[in-house]
Chain A
Amino acid sequence: MIDRFQYREDREAYSAARVKALEALLIKKGIITDKTVDTVLDFFETKMGPFNGAKIVARAWVDPSFKDRLVTDTPAAIAELNLPEGMAGAEGEHMRAVANSPDVHNLIICTLCSCYPWPVLGLPPYWYKDPTFRSRAAREPRAVLGEFGLPVPEAIEIKVWDSSAQIRWFVVPERPVGTEGMTEAELEALVTPEAMMGVAIAKAA
């Protein structure tokens, strides 16, 4: 059915029509409503995702005492922010933040399972569950970070944190230089999931 159409644009229009038909039928039968799709996607787009981590990190950048509390009692510090429910509760209660400094670069991995601090980082990238990445990052983090385009000087210690069902780590990257005049909202835009995993650093846009 799909391959009946030779050109991409035709297939696009045809797929869009099929989805529209399907949605209309399901709504007509009372199985879903016209809000269902948005409601489901809302979870990924506004409730749980990297935008939460960005808010946490930006606050840590502008408020050093928040940053201290964040690394000493992560769930309690997160609870201070007005984030969606679940951030500091069932989903996020095992979260622990580690902060980069001029002397230490942190990297999070997960050698055993799929544990990932989803509420702050969103969906993991495809390579995160790759066994080669996991074992090499534990064994030779400096080489792996170099391959990610992040050469870490020998003078800087690399700490590798292995997430588990008990503790899910995320990294507070360093605030980029040249961002002194930026607002908290502007800073949020500089925080990427990669920086919060420790495979990148935050950069001034």
Chain B
Amino acid sequence: MLTQFEHFAVTEMMGKTDNPPRANGSLCFGSQWERSSFGMALALAKNGIFEWDDFRDELISTIKAWEDAHPVDRSTWNYYDQFLAALEKAVVKAGIIDPEEIRAVLAG
């Protein structure tokens, strides 16, 4: 079956640790930055900058680390905090952005 990358990428996450939040059949974004993070990650994987599965491994381990650090009180949980952290790691690992560059933009 011919499947769009977007379809394949999100379907793979269903029922897994890195399942994105959704309601009424749609992805839910709490803010514009969450939506942009998701769109950028998907676009970069679609363009072959990194493998979607590698990004997901990064995301799953980021989520695991957060859960280990918050064994009891998880009231501060936000899926897209972890997603963004994983995305930053993935672009650095892919060699397309240097952490210094991000710091410079943020400082500027």
Interface residues of A (CB under 8 A from B): 1-2, 8, 11-12, 15-26, 29, 31-32, 36-41, 43-45, 48-50, 86, 90-91, 114, 116, 118, 121-126, 128-130, 165, 192-194
Contact = CB atoms under 8 A, between A and B. Distances in A.
A130 to B, nearest CB: 8
A24 B91 CA distance: 13
A43 B4 contact: yes
Contacts of A90: 1-3
Contacts of A44: 6, 10, 26-27
The main secondary structure of chain A at its interface with chain B is helix
Contact of A31 (B35, B38, B47): B47
Interface of B: 1-4, 6-7, 10-11, 14-15, 19, 22, 24-27, 31-33, 35-40, 42-44, 46-47, 49, 76, 78, 80-81, 84-85, 87-88, 91, 96-97, 101-102, 105-106
Contacts of B91: 22, 26
Given A16-B32, A48-B7, A114-B11, A40 B88 contact: no
A123 B26 contact: yes
Contact of B7 (A23, A26, A39, A118): A118
A18 B22 contact: no
B46 A16 contact: no
Given A29-B96, A114-B15, A124-B14, A36 B43 contact: yes
Nearest to A131: B15
Contacts of B101: 25
With a 10 A CB-CB cut-off, give which of A1, A24, A48, A118 has the most chain B CB atoms. Answer: A118
14 contacts: A1-B85, A2-B85, A16-B31, A18-B33, A21-B102, A24-B105, A25-B105, A26-B40, A49-B25, A122-B26, A123-B25, A123-B26, A123-B27, A125-B22
Contacts of B96: 26, 29, 31
B25 A41 contact: no
